[in-house]
Structure 1
């Protein structure tokens, strides 16, 4: 599996990678996504990050900036310095970054919570760490992170609750390969309308 998803084969998962296993063999099985829950002015808010080595994050940011886009890249330590998650000490995170995908709160968080719960529970992880009150972090395997990245990206501009829920239901029904395809399409600078196309596909019937 191509962890960076920058390959033209980004929509295809290798046969030996399971959604319930952390990361991929490329990174020694470490998680490649994380959700951080914090208490904000509107109550609980959750932010999804992709975890990347500094050189990969820098290369991706450079590609995006050439196309007029930006990428929010922070050091792993800045985001997870106080985390109690076991994964923070199981691997060496020096020279790793946390690339922000999206922050969700309020009604969008409530609409997204069932998908977060279902998706994370499917990986035998405890979703309540980020769906209930308090500050907490949960580290995610790649396939789970890719699926949730679609939801976090897709739901951000939506205003109607019925469209938010329809988007989440549609993503829940997707297979892993379809999620990888749309994830690559949504974040590619050469496909600027990827997120809009995903929202149209899953919510235009409403």
Structure 2
């Protein structure tokens, strides 16, 4: 519920934009967070799932473009992103944003080995935002919202590390992404997700890990 007694979840995005909302940088969406990182504890350790948050129409259009190019994209409701977490508030209750008409477009889910390799990248990215890094870096389930620049840096790291098998290569890629400027991250993010650039992720891995024997 909002301060005036209105059910936040029933309000439109425009109606939800109140002065006391946490803002995640300026954006086309009025400071709304544009990425969401979820931590889920499993028997083998922590998993991370990164999703980009988009209006439903944009998420569906992106999925359709990728499918025409022979690639896939999983899109889910915001509620679905958190359905396996325990004792965690929904985003609407947590930050006050209205989520009707919004979807999560999955970037990647990482297993515990890859989570460990990217700890420093995630900590640095989250520390520069309104989010609390402990929500996704310490034990237990949790999630954080992220602004565009932090989310894009993590998207590059997540996509790059996902198919790697050797820990030394994972760590090399993580260090390389950590050293990138925001402009470089935006470039590689666009290259990795573009339907017209199917080898973008491979090129990123070659750039950051090919020096390892």
Shorter-chain-normalised TM-score: which range?
A: 0.7 to 0.9
1:77 shift after superposition: 1.8
**Paired residue for 1:53?**
55
How many residue pairs get matched? 186
Residue by residue over 1:25-47, the C-alpha shift from the partner in whole angstroms, topping out at 9 and shown as x without a partner, is 31010000010111224221110
1:168 shift after superposition: 0.6
TM-score by length of 1: 0.85
Q: More relative contact order in 1 or in 2 (CA 8 Å, sep 6+)?
A: 1
Which residue of the other structure, out of 65, 86, 89, is the alignment partner of 1:84? 89
Residue 197 of structure 2 aligns to a residue whose secondary structure is coil
**Paired residue for 1:26?**
28
Asked if the contact 2:131/2:145 (under 8 Å) is kept, the reply is no
- Cα distance in 1 for partners of 2:80, 2:112 equals 24
**Paired residue for 1:181?**
187
TM-score by length of 2: 0.82
Bigger CA radius of gyration: 2
Q: Which runs of 5+ in 2 are unaligned?
A: 1-22
Asked if the contact 2:88/2:141 (under 8 Å) is kept, the reply is no
Which residue of the other structure, out of 42, 45, 53, is the alignment partner of 2:44? 42
CA-based RMSD of the aligned residues comes to 1.7
Asked if the contact 1:54/1:97 (under 8 Å) is kept, the reply is yes
